[in-house]
Amino acid sequence: MNTSISDESPAKPMAWTDEDLIRHGTPAFRRTNLALFAAGFATFGLLYCVQPLMPQFSQHYGISAAASAMSLSLTTGVLAFAMLFAGGVSDAWGRKSVMVASLLSSAVLVLLTALMPNWYALLTIRTLLGLTLSGLPAVAMTYLSEEMHAESIGLGMGLYISGSAVGGMSGRLISGVVADYFGWRVGVGVVGAVGLVSGLVFWRALPASRHFHPQALQWRALFGRFAGMFRDAGLPWLFAEGFLLLGAFVTVYNYLGYRLLAPPYSLSQTVVGLIFGIYLVGTFSSAWMGHLAGKLGRRKVLWTALTLMLFGVGCTMMTSLWLIIFGITAITFGFFGGHSIVSSWVGRRGGAAKAQASSMYLFSYYMGSSVAGASGGLFYAEHGWNGVALFVGALVLVGLFIALWLYRVQPLPQLTTPPTPMSKGAMP
């Protein structure tokens, strides 16, 4: 097996048929799914491993909750911008080349994070991480659409998203539990090592691109397609919905640890890390609510996801630990369901600019994490958890109003093809 990074074969454009594509049941299909599961696992584990460690950062460096949240907000902010251009870079440099470089460099940066001597050095590494991470989620779906047969791509997509969900949960869980016994540096280092191994598995397992042909970067045409999307009646509202959904979700998880580690709960870091396992309900809710929206219509289902999140926010303001956990579960269930609906809706309305619409949605989505995730710390500093809950509740309420407003946006009858897989490529 050729394991070089630059193993694309663009020099010989040729006609190809369905028989050339990767199909279910073949060794190439199994290798592709193993590779993309490992890639999703590594990417989102590396991204979110710092979230349960924010209280320890505050204690170790003597910083506020809002300052500690910058360890994630800076990463997602840079990631949001970089993802707008990573797809264009892969058009010129190759799909596998960009993805392998993205994973391996990101794992090395997370390993370096564990060695940083001060807070500003740590933030510098986390900022660079946003740049390097962008190459995987922005390109993986393009690779699948080029290399995998239409009858098999659904399963391939599902395994990639499953890896993303498991990685997001595992990165939080591993770093939190290990940090409880050995300190946050070891916790981050273990996640970095797991990410490095996953990156190497991805490099060896992923088949080389057979249907990729390089294209020159055409920045003027790219920017023109981005600008054209904002003339659509629905897409800008869907982008805003993505901002609000992930902004609310990440803010809750950013400051949950501060509340549960403090009296009257005084939970251990291990127990708080296990509570982050609630994240796994999203692997069910995203598929279930997405299917429900397909049957009943997105307009009729989206508002229910946001209503469930709003109810969950109210539960977290109670003093009972069980009600708090129930509220976090409701928020998580509603978030993943809402994200599944909105991301597929973007793909439907994107038309010929599906890739650019998906990129803009992901930009808005991760900017929500960056802006709202950091801003929530100001509310926590002034008003404690109730301040965070009111802030998150306001975000969700605006999202609910947008969901109701979308009832008035006419569907596009000419878009009769199913949404492209690219629109579902991101998991938090």
d(CA 165, CA 249): 14
pTM of the model: 0.83
CATH assignment of 220-428, among 1.20.1250.20, 4.10.520.10, 3.40.50.720, 3.20.20.80: 1.20.1250.20
Residue 381 tokens, joined: 């500093």
Q: Looking at the chain, which residues constitute the CATH 1.20.1250.20 domain(s)?
A: 20-208, 220-428
Considering the domain 20-208, what is its CATH architecture? Up-down Bundle (1.20)
Residue 117 tokens, joined: 């001597």
Report residue 22: phi and psi, to 5°: -75, 125
- Look at residues 163, 167, 161 and name the one whose alpha carbon lies nearest to residue 194: 167
- pLDDT tens-digit profile of 311-355? 999 999 999 999 999 999 999 999 988 988 888 788 677 766 666
Kindly tell me the sign of the dihedral angle through the C-alpha atoms of 270, 185, 109, 85: positive
- Residues constituting the chain: 428
The per-residue pLDDT for 163 is 74
Residue 82 tokens, joined: 């970089």
Q: Quick one: average pLDDT of 38-43?
A: 88
Residue 421's pLDDT band (boundaries 50, 70, 90)? Answer: very low
- pLDDT tens-digit profile of 91-115? 767 788 888 999 999 999 999 999 9
The per-residue pLDDT for 214 is 60
- pLDDT tens-digit profile of 268-312? 988 988 888 888 887 778 778 877 887 888 888 999 999 999 999
- Look at residues 105, 104, 126 and name the one whose alpha carbon lies nearest to residue 114: 126
- pLDDT tens-digit profile of 352-402? 666 677 778 888 999 999 999 999 999 999 999 999 999 999 999 999 999
